[in-house]
Structures are given as C-alpha cells and as structure tokens.
Copies of this chain bind each other. A is one copy, B any other.
Amino acid sequence: MAVFSSLTPVFVAVLCVIIGFLFKNSQRRQTRSKQGRSDQTSKPWVDEDLQDDTEISSKHNEDDDWLDTTEEEDLRHIPYTPARYSATEMLERSEMFYSLMNLRRSVRFISPEPVPKEVIDNVIRTAGTAPSGAHTEPWTFVVVSDADVKHKIREIIEEEEEINYKQRMGDKWVQDLKKLRTNWVKEYLDVAPYLILVFKQTYGILPSGKKKTHYYNEISVSISCGILLAALQNVGLVTVTTTPLNCGPQLRLLLQRPANEKLLILLPVGYPASDAKVPDLKRKDLKDIMVTV
C-alpha cells in the first residue's frame, strides 16, 4: 500500500500529461474548424471589390449553358426564325462589320461636345441584349453627365492612381515622368460628356429576401461590355476601357449603388477630340489568334 501511495504522484503526473494532450488537441480542432469557416466566407487578401465568383462557380453543379433548366421548364418555347442571308451577303456583312470594328481604338482624348442622350440610351439598350448566366442580366449601367459627380469621380480615381504610380515607379518615376504621355491625371473624366460606370451584380435578392448567387456574373457583364463597345463604335463615339483599381467601393458609395453591385469597368464616352492621338499599335494577324481543327 505504501509502495502504491508512493506511486500516486507518478500517476497524477501521467494523468496530467494525458489531460494536457487531450485539451490541446480539442483546442486545435476548434481553431481549425474556425479557420475552415472563415475561408469559406472571406478572403482578406483579395480586394473585395475585385473578388469574383469563380470559386462559387466551381462548386456550382448546374447546367453550363447559362439557363437554369428548372426555370426553363416553366417557360413557353416559341419558334425562332431569324433573318437568313445568302453566302455572298454573309461575307459582305462580315467584312463590313470587321472593317467598322477594326477602326475602333481606345481614345483618351475626348471632346467635351454634347452627345444626344437618346443615342446613349440605345447603346445601353444594346448592351442589355447580352446573354447572361441563367438569364440573370446582372448589370447596372450608371450614366453620369453631372459635372460635379464627374469631378468627384475624377478626384477618387486620381488619388488612387497617384498612389499606384508613385508606389510602382519609385525613383525611376521621378526621372521618367516628363516623358510619359499617360499618367495618373485623367482629364477625360471631367471632359467626356458621359461616364458609363458598369457594375456587376454579384448576387440578386429573391422576393423572400434571400440572396440569389449570380453565377458567371463577371463574364456576363464583360460580354455585355463587348457589345456596348461595338454599339459605341457603330455610332462614331469613342471611349477607353478602364478598370479603376481600388476605387470600386468609393465610387459605389458616391453613386449610392447597393452592396451587391461591384464596379467592373468605367468608360468615358464622347466624340474624339479634334487633335486626338492614339499609340500606333498593331493587332495580331488572324493566324496568331485562330487555330483551325
């Protein structure tokens, strides 16, 4: 008994070690499951406004042809008989449209001349004909002509751009600045008669108040912007495609857009200035962009 009780401290020590291990393990498990949860809801290293739903899409096992089948089932199907052109007409039309689009250039020198608002309306209507994942039409086009609002947009963007330029270019920036033709000064944001800010709706709100994820919203809205650029070019207006980095949240608040909308693209729109210049860029040849199988 004496030997037994003399061994008790050893037992207690061993038990302490075991309890210690068990406790440590359970703590770790909790930490890990917390991390798991936070991984799913946020990524602090991604600018929230630039986050897109690629990861959501990958978890998403729905139909890939952009129309929810259950939704489609409820819809009446109607015959579709569009215009049919002869082979010659097709070739002519395809050449004409290519020639027109090939003249499009990104233009930073925009005239302050007013542009008929009806034309802008039609251009936006045209952008709204784009396809979208499950026909969610996840786009909002904010058309700004108010001089004060344009100037505030310019201030927000130039402030961020100046930081970008200076951080990026460092000492070299000081030397090269005078030679550069573009810098953080974006005069066109004041001058262009219209700024079109294209927001992607990252989710929708169901009648029940619940969120409805808009899959492929970034791709859908970008496709819509492609059609918008074509529509602008078709009427002789110019723009430059910009993605104001880090400015999304501020611009969203300025324009009082809801939390589900994220700025994707900003397009200053107008006639080209009479002295507009563009860099002498070439486009790749067909053989460098197309592979035939």
Within 8 Å by CB of A25, from B25, B97, B161, lies B25
Q: Copy number of this protein in the oligomer?
A: 2
Known: A17-B18, A72-B182. A97 touches B234 (CB 8 A): yes
Known: A65-B108, A77-B277, A229-B226. A219 touches B271 (CB 8 A): no
A91 touching B118 by the CB < 8 A rule? yes
Smallest CB separation, A195 vs chain B (Å) = 9
1/0 contact string of A257-293 vs chain B (CB within 8 Å)? 1000000110000011001111111011010011111
B102 touching A129 by the CB < 8 A rule? yes
Known: A46-B58, A242-B66. A94 touches B119 (CB 8 A): yes
Q: How many residues of A contact B (CB 8 A)?
A: 146
**Which of A's residues lie within 8 Å of B, judged by CB?**
3-4, 7, 11, 14, 17-18, 21-22, 25, 28, 43, 45-47, 50-52, 54-55, 57-67, 69-70, 72-73, 75-85, 87, 90-91, 93-95, 97-98, 101-109, 116, 118-119, 121-131, 135, 137, 139-146, 149, 157, 161, 164-165, 167-168, 176, 179-183, 186, 216, 218-219, 222-231, 234-238, 240-245, 255, 257, 264-265, 271-272, 275-281, 283-284, 286, 289-293
